[in-house]
Amino acid sequence: MATNDLLLRAALGQRTERTPVWLMRQAGRILKEYRAVRERAGDFRTLVTTPEMAAEVTLQPVDLLGVDAAIIFSDILVVPDAMGLPYVMDEGKGPRFPRTVRSMAELATLRTPDVADDLSYVAEAIRLTKDGLGGRVPLIGFAGAPWTIFCYMTEGQGSKTFSMARRSLFADPAFAHALMDRITTTTIAYLRLQVEAGADLVQVFDSWAGVMDRATYREFAIPCLRRICEAITEVPVTVFAKDAWFALADIAALPCATIGLDWTQEPQWVRSITGPEKTLQGNLDPCVLYADRAVIARETARMLDAFGPQRHIANLGHGVHPDTPVDHVRRFIDSVKDHQHRPA
């Protein structure tokens, strides 16, 4: 059990002395110490696949920012990579797949990975990180949601609309279901590997949930998320489906412990839909952290009061932007820790 187990207790619905806080993308370019390791690695993939380096940058936010959890440094695209679809990280542009999967014939070329072997570098990074943490705070593992991984595997790169991915859902639904099923099976095995290596919680990122409508998300994405949540029972599961306000009731019906919210979702409205049995995570607009210290403190307090003192994990509504001043990030974290909730 971690010395600081606030995050675990909040996820499980147990009472906490204060709201725990961590940030998506907290191990990244906001820290000069991260940039130094990234330069030493030479390229992003080397950093991800070298356990000692991945563990080092995972620990940095705990040591330098005082967050209440570490999240293993990796990338959601290690899953398609293990399935035989390697990606390239173009500097300043994001991920790109030289080859895509858009048909049953192309799906047949994928492999069923042995995650214990193909993704052993992630498990080793988790073990090294747990040793480095020494029980100070919990460690979060993660994976991309099947729909988000499907988007990259079919589109081949980032997109505002992922029209090629969405096209598959309607033009060839049998293929779409088959690929989503393959991704889901691999993701479950991958998350189990992380839990076995020492992850205390896991988060599933559905970054492109918002490009779907409710009916389509319910048909293609929700069953995959349900399979994952039902399979991972040893630790709490968080589902973060960005821009998926339309799917809140469906997500609330999943056997997950926590629902992550983007910054457009009003906490009290969300609570009216999800009910009192889910922990909510989020959801300050990352751009608030560009403001001065007084505004950051004010907006953080407003967020915390809206969620209330229990069943809440403070975070941003998406990843912290890489050019955010690190002192402003610390101001956010300190504001959460110092907040005194007003009596109900």
pLDDT reading at 194 higher than 80:
yes
Active site annotation includes 75: yes
* Lowest-confidence pick of 57-61, 91-95, 139-143: 91-95
Instruction: Given the residues 75, 118, 206, 262, select the one marked as catalytic.
Output: 75
Contacts of 226 (CB under 8 A, 6+ apart): 254, 255
Q: And the tokens for 230?
A: 């039902």
Give the separation between CA 196 and CA 115, rounded to whole angstroms: 12
Active site annotation includes 38: yes
Mean pLDDT of the chain: 96
Instruction: Given the residues 34, 87, 152, 217, select the one marked as catalytic.
Output: 152
Q: CA–CA distance from 263 to each of 108, 128, 241, 270, 315 (Å)?
A: 39, 33, 12, 12, 10
pLDDT reading at 62 higher than 70:
yes
The pLDDT of residue 89:
87
The pLDDT of residue 94:
84
- Domain membership of residue 295 (yes or no) is no
Confidence of residue 259 (pLDDT cuts 50, 70, 90): very high
pLDDT reading at 340 higher than 70:
yes
Which region, left, alpha or beta, applies to residue 284 given φ > 0 means left and ψ of -120 to 50 means alpha? beta
Instruction: Given the residues 5, 9, 34, 38, select the one marked as catalytic.
Output: 38
Structural domains in the chain (count) = 1
pLDDT reading at 343 higher than 60:
no
Q: What is the pTM of this model?
A: 0.96
- H runs (alpha helix) in 83-159: 104-107, 115-118, 120-133, 146-155
Contacts of 23 (CB under 8 A, 6+ apart): 61, 65, 67, 315, 316, 319, 320, 329, 332, 333
Confidence of residue 3 (pLDDT cuts 50, 70, 90): confident
**Residue-number span of the structural domain to which 272 is assigned:** 6-283
Q: And the tokens for 51?
A: 């356990």
Q: What is the pLDDT of residues 112-162, one digit of tens each?
A: 999 999 999 999 999 999 999 999 999 999 999 999 999 999 999 989 999
Contacts of 129 (CB under 8 A, 6+ apart): 54, 55, 58, 59, 70, 72, 139, 198
Q: For the beta carbon of residue 46, count every other beta carbon within 10 angstroms.
A: 13
- Domain membership of residue 211 (yes or no) is yes
Contacts of 123 (CB under 8 A, 6+ apart): 116, 193, 194, 196, 197
- Domain membership of residue 172 (yes or no) is yes
Between residues 92 and 191, the one the model is more confident about: 191
- Domain membership of residue 43 (yes or no) is yes
Confidence of residue 275 (pLDDT cuts 50, 70, 90): very high
- Domain membership of residue 183 (yes or no) is yes
- Domain membership of residue 140 (yes or no) is yes
- Domain membership of residue 208 (yes or no) is yes
* Lowest-confidence pick of 1-5, 15-19, 229-233, 284-288: 1-5
CATH value at residue 54:
3.20.20.210
Q: And the tokens for 218?
A: 């319910």
Q: What is the pLDDT of residues 66-88, one digit of tens each?
A: 999 999 999 999 999 999 999 99
- Domain membership of residue 319 (yes or no) is no
pLDDT reading at 344 higher than 60:
no
Instruction: Given the residues 18, 29, 167, 293, select the one marked as catalytic.
Output: 29
In this prediction, residues 169-177 reach a mean pLDDT of 98
Instruction: Given the residues 9, 25, 102, 192, select the one marked as catalytic.
Output: 25
Active site annotation includes 131: no
Active site annotation includes 15: no
Active site annotation includes 29: yes
DSSP string of 327-344, one letter each residue: HHHHHHHHHHHH--PPP-
Amino acid sitting at position 67: V
